[in-house]
Amino acid sequence: MATAHVLEHTHTAGSFLGRYIFSQDHKVIGIQYFLTAMVMALVAGFLAIMMRLQLAFPNETWPLLEKLFPLGMEGGVMKPEFYLSLVTMHGTLMVFFVISFALVSGFGNFLIPLQIGARDMAYPFLNMLSYWTIVPACLLMIASFFVEGGAAAAGWTAYPPLSAVQNAVPGSGWGQTLWLLAMALFIVSFTMGGLNYVATILTHRTQGMSMMRLPLTIWTMFIAAILALLAFPALTAAAIMLLFDRHFGTSFFLPSGLYIGEQVLPHQGGTPLLWQHLFWFLGHPEVYVLLLPALGLTLDIIPAFTRKPVFGYRVTVTSLLVIAVLSLIVWGHHMFVSGMNPYLGEFFSIGTLLITLPSAAIGLNLIASLWGGSVRLTTPMLFALGVIALFGTGGLGGIFLGNAVSDVYLHDSYFVVGHFHFMIGGVTLFGIFAGTYYWFPKMFGRMMSERLGKIHFWLSLASFYGMFLGMHFLGLAGAPRRYYSFTQFSFLEPVVSLQLIVTISSFVFAAAQVIFLLNFFYSLKKGSKADKNPWNATTLEWTADSPPPHGNWNGEVPRVYRWPYEYSLPDAPQDFTPQTTPPAEAKVTM
């Protein structure tokens, strides 16, 4: 039988190469993704710090940085086009190569089989392939800094004509081509991952694990994977057309009469708005692809540290589904002032604000999950609470933007930058941290240091507000984004001093992440040994060894008798009842 075949395959441990490099074990692949994300986070975070330096000290010179980027930082002064490359690459790397990798690919691969009771993913080979597809993608992205003209500089949204015409901006040469190729590889890889997730969750659940007994992490991964499968092809199509516009003279996005570089281009009849539609058809669902798993992890971590079930499991699942469906039809809220048909603007505005209904329901469920519980403020729990707070703030900011009328003023201002850092850079990053502290024992068999973890949390939380709450007010004062400096306009004068607060906070934030990395690698070697179930949690992965062996469970795959949130069940022997506890030992509520 074919599946049995697969099983034997993953059970053979093999050589070092087979076990750690070209492994088909979902846990190893998950950790590979996770570590890759970490490396890319360092790169993207470093780019952010360089941006912050420029914005707070627009007139300084940085001879040290000149050594690293002799062209972009000639004479130690940052060039405007180099700043744009920084913004572009920071955004792209963070969204696709850090958060997607760590959250969706990392935790997804690691947790899905473990939490549904499978020995591996449905297609282990495809899984390995998906990881090895993103390795060249990462290399291409990083290499693009060192090609002629520098890295792509048209923003992570890569709007043409800027991204389509070589002369429009220096990064629009080789840098943009590499960017497109790397993104194409990323999409291919993510598609393979998505196929795997959907097939695994649908077909590899253990006995008794019905859909309504899935941990919310799995639900969010499932929905995110479907969203990705539906939305990503639009960017594939757009990228193909952009490559053809750039290199083969077609005119999909380029209208007639473009006058760039003192000459009229031969293109005819295309329209830049088409790219925006296609990009955001992907781009908007993509942010939920990242958000939902972060909420999923949070929703699974909270009950372990309140010792009670999550509030509103069914409401949450329904809301997640509603969000997913709606997220496919609201992309136009990024285009309110793009020159799009104003009637579409009205439609998209109403649709966007509809998303706040299920989102707020989830927000309420998150908060209400604390009610009546016995809250234990371990590091994972602290980060999970951070997720709630940041989700609330970022989401409420979204209400200003989803409203087409206020967005006329706020579009492309720092208000937007503040909003999305709370969401995509806050909720998701804090979710990753919460997940890391929580599942580290399962991944590596050791505990992370609580003390360092707490320091990491407090520094991160405080500096996060310092960085991004302030940006909302920069935006209200009118500061546009993707500005190399704010010295050219008198209406922006009040804004300059705020930049300093943001920059200093970003240093603190970066320092806090160094503590995290120290903690991570120190605990890998020296952390106290973890037993199977250090948090007394109920989900299936805690019935496997820490770290789990190949095939996840020695002996039979456990059978499931109940839903995953059976904490503090009256009359049960302990305050937690694992999903594997048969009905004979404790009553089944769901």
Partner 1 sequence: MVKTFNDVSTKTYWKIWSLLLLITLVMMLIDTAALARTLLVSLLLVGMLAKASLIAAYFMHLRFEKLSLVGIVTAGIFFTAAALFFLIAPDGVWILKSAVK
Partner 2 sequence: MNQHSAVRRDLGGLEFSREQAAFRSTIGIWMFLTTVTMLFAAFTSSYIIRRASADWQEIVPPPILWLNTLVLIGSSSSLVLAQRGLRRSHAVSFRTYLVLSCLLGIGFLIGQIVCWVQLSRQGIFLPTNPHSSFFYILTGLHGLHLLGGVMALVYGTMKTWSADSVRMDHLFRVSSIYWHFMAGLWLYILFVLFVL
Partner 3 sequence: MEEAQRTVGRQSVTGMLLALVMAAVPLVAILYATHTRLPFVASQHGSGIDSMINYTLITVGVVFIVAHLIFAYFIWRFSRQDRVTSRLASTKAEWRWTLIPVIVMILIAEGGVLVIGMPVWRELYGTAESDNVVTVEVTAEQFAWNVRYPGKDGIFGQTAPARIELPVNPLGVDPTDPNANDDLYLGPELKLPVNKPARILLRSKDVLHSFFLPHQRIKQDAVPGMVIEVRFVPTEIGEFEIACTELCGLGHYKMRGVLTVMPQEEFHRWYTESTDLYFPGE
DSSP class per residue in 510-577: HHHHHHHHHHHHHHHHHSPBP-S-TT---SGGGGS-SS--TTSSSSSPPP--S-TT-BS-TT-SSSB-
Distance of closest approach, residue 287 Cβ to Cu ion, in angstroms: 6
Angle (CA) 5-10-14 rounded to 5° is 120
* Cα 576 to Cα 307: distance, rounded to the nearest angstrom: 7
Of the chain, the end-to-end C-alpha distance in Å amounts to: 34
Identify the helix (H) or strand (E) that includes residue 187. Answer: helix 174-203
Q: Does 411 bind Cu ion (CB under 5 A)?
A: no
- Interstrand relation of 263-264 and 259-260 (parallel, antiparallel or unpaired): antiparallel
Distance of closest approach, residue 559 Cβ to partner 2, in angstroms: 8
In the complex with partner 3, the residue whose CB is nearer, 117 or 345, is 345
Q: Does 396 bind ligand HEA (CB under 6 A)?
A: yes
* Residues of this chain, 237-276, that bind partner 1 according to CB under 8 A: 255-257, 271, 273-274
In the complex with ligand HEA, the residue whose CB is nearer, 265 or 301, is 301
Unique residue bearing structure tokens 């809250």: 375
Nearest CA to 428 among 47, 103, 108, 50? 103
Select the residue interacting with partner 1 from 329, 396, 452, 508 (CB under 8 A).
329
The letter for the amino acid at 282 is: L
Nearest CA to 40 among 85, 97, 110, 79? 97
Distance of closest approach, residue 338 Cβ to ligand HEA, in angstroms: 9
Helix (H, G, I), strand (E, B) or coil at 95: helix
Angle (CA) 511-93-438 rounded to 5° is 55
Distance of closest approach, residue 192 Cβ to partner 3, in angstroms: 32
- Going residue by residue from 70 to 109, which x/- string records binding to ligand HEA, judged by CB under 6 A? -----------------xx-xx--xx--xx--x-------
* Residues of this chain, 271-310, that bind ligand HEA according to CB under 6 A: 287, 290-291
* Residues of this chain, 480-519, that bind ligand HEA according to CB under 6 A: 481-483, 506, 509-510, 513, 516
Summarize as ranges the residues that interact with partner 2 (CB under 8 A): 1-4, 7, 117-119, 122-123, 191, 194-195, 198-199, 202-207, 210-211, 229-234, 236-238, 240-241, 244, 248-252, 256, 268-271, 273-274, 277-278, 281, 556-557
Distance of closest approach, residue 359 Cβ to ligand HEA, in angstroms: 3
Distance of closest approach, residue 226 Cβ to Cu ion, in angstroms: 18
The letter for the amino acid at 480 is: P
Spatial CB neighbours of 359, under 8 Å, sequence gap ≥ 6: 319, 323, 395
* Cα 158 to Cα 481: distance, rounded to the nearest angstrom: 15
The pair of three-digit structure tokens given for residue 328, joined into one six-digit string: 């496919």
Distance of closest approach, residue 586 Cβ to partner 3, in angstroms: 14
> φ, ψ for residue 587 (rounded to 5)?
-65, 145
DSSP letter, residue 99: I
* Cα 318 to Cα 320: distance, rounded to the nearest angstrom: 5
Distance of closest approach, residue 123 Cβ to partner 3, in angstroms: 36
Distance of closest approach, residue 270 Cβ to partner 2, in angstroms: 7
* Residues of this chain, 348-377, that bind partner 1 according to CB under 8 A: 348
Helix (H, G, I), strand (E, B) or coil at 263: strand
* Cα 155 to Cα 558: distance, rounded to the nearest angstrom: 48
Q: Does 318 bind partner 1 (CB under 8 A)?
A: no
Q: Does 277 bind Cu ion (CB under 5 A)?
A: no
Q: Does 28 bind ligand HEA (CB under 6 A)?
A: no
Select the residue interacting with Cu ion from 204, 205, 284, 411 (CB under 5 A).
284
DSSP class per residue in 275-301: HHHHHHHHHHHHHHHHHHHHHHHHHHH
204 binds, among Cu ion, partner 2, ligand HEA, none (CB under 5 to 8 A by kind): partner 2
Q: Does 478 bind ligand HEA (CB under 6 A)?
A: no
In the complex with partner 1, the residue whose CB is nearer, 348 or 400, is 348
DSSP letter, residue 491: G
Q: Yes or no: say if 25 and 550 are a contact pair by the CB < 8 Å rule.
A: yes
Q: Exposure string (b/e) for 456-471, b if CB count within 10 Å is 16 or more?
A: bbebbbebbbbbbbbb
Distance of closest approach, residue 46 Cβ to ligand HEA, in angstroms: 7
In the complex with Cu ion, the residue whose CB is nearer, 353 or 501, is 353
Distance of closest approach, residue 564 Cβ to partner 2, in angstroms: 17
Q: Where on the chain is the footprint of ligand HEA (CB under 6 A)? A: 34, 37-38, 41-42, 45, 48, 51-52, 87-88, 90-91, 94-95, 98-99, 102, 155-157, 287, 290-291, 333-334, 352, 355-356, 359-360, 363, 388-389, 392-393, 395-396, 398-399, 401-402, 407, 411-412, 416-417, 419-421, 423-425, 429, 432, 436, 467, 481-483, 506, 509-510, 513, 516
User: Which parts of this chain interact with Cu ion (CB under 5 A)?
Assistant: 284
Contacting residues toward partner 1, per CB under 8 A: 226, 230-231, 234, 255-257, 271, 273-274, 277, 281, 325, 328-329, 331-332, 339-341, 343-344, 347-348
